[in-house]
Amino acid sequence: MHPPAFLAINKPVGIRSTQCVEEIRRALRREWPGTKVGHGGTLDSSASGLLVMLISSATRLSDLVMSMPKAYRATVRLGVETSTCDFAGEAVFSADWRSLREADIDRALCSFMGWRNQRPPKASAVHVAGRRAHEIFRGGGEPEIQPRPVFAESLTRADTISESGEFVLLVRCGKGTYVRGIARDIGRLLGCGAHIAALERESVGCFSIKDAVEFGRAAGTRQGGLSSAMTPLSALSRFLPTYSFSEEDARRLKNGLAVPFARASRKGFGKFAPVGVIACVSGEGFSIGRLREQGGEHLVFPEVNISESAESGTEQ
């Protein structure tokens, strides 16, 4: 099996995330049969941009990658709200937008920054009564989706309003935020309706669209070339707070046992620090640990252990 790694793919519009997984799995099959392939957070088929593929035992890091902050470039079209909150849906409301000023949009954007409750679109992957909301919606039903807290770090209008009522919106947000939902809610606040005319994901944590392989090219690349485009697990040390441990403590972590945080040596600060989550590196592999207080001291409890070179890592 292929050693664990990440592969950044530039997904085009019209391709589902599951199709990308299957194409990469097929591309690796001849040289690395049985290699697992997953992704670190789905991307709508109507959207383009970065999809982080998880190779081999890196699939165990799916939750971690999904929790990373994301950046999007969205084209918002004013005047029409659609059933899917993007260009693929049917119009459900329309109103004249031409009396709006750009200052009105900028004031509205301030309402969506920070923490707020958002109701995901009906055509979304959230679960409702054991089914995906989009399955209920596309089957003619009305999924009862509850609002949930989401976080937007920044919303920036990147240009003027075009003659057709479009403007570019740059979004930096956390896990679970639907940019389609932001566009819908902006339109409702402004009273004219709005939807996403185009959406591109530009980054996920330490992964950037600038480093991504074009989807069609990746699927047709020889195995050796595809492997060379992959990013090793050690890339996470540029992103997460990273620590090393003695051989004895590293062995304990590998065996699923907690070790005192006081014995850790800092290797890097990282750019993203989920509360209590750290990366633990050793000569034998890579661990994701969580800090907890117990008996008056802080301990590192391993949550995922992965070998850098093989599929032999064990998940805790």
Q: What angle do CA 211, 174, 105 make, to 5 degrees?
A: 100
Tokens of 199: 């959406």
To the query of whether residue 44 is one of the catalytic residues in this protein, the response is yes
Residues 93-123 as b/e (b if ≥16 CB within 10 A, e otherwise) read beeebeebeeebbeebbeebbeeeebebbbb
Residue pair 199/178 in contact (Cβ under 8 Å)? The answer is no
What is the maximum span of the chain, computed from C-alpha positions, in angstroms? 69
Residue pair 173/150 in contact (Cβ under 8 Å)? The answer is yes
For residues 137 and 134, give the distance between their C-alpha atoms in angstroms, rounded to a whole number: 5
Q: Which of 44, 86, 185, 249 is catalytic?
A: 44
103: alpha, beta or left? (left if phi > 0; alpha if psi -120 to 50):
alpha
H or E stretch covering 225: helix 223-228
Residues 179-208 as b/e (b if ≥16 CB within 10 A, e otherwise) read bbbbbbbbbebbebbbbbbbbbbbbbbbbe
Tokens of 83: 């059933």
3-state class (DSSP) for residue 83: coil
Instruction: Identify the residue whose tokens are 């699923």.
Output: 256
For residues 114 and 62, give the distance between their C-alpha atoms in angstroms, rounded to a whole number: 25
At 189, give phi and psi (nearest 5°): -65, -40
**Residues known to be catalytic:** 44
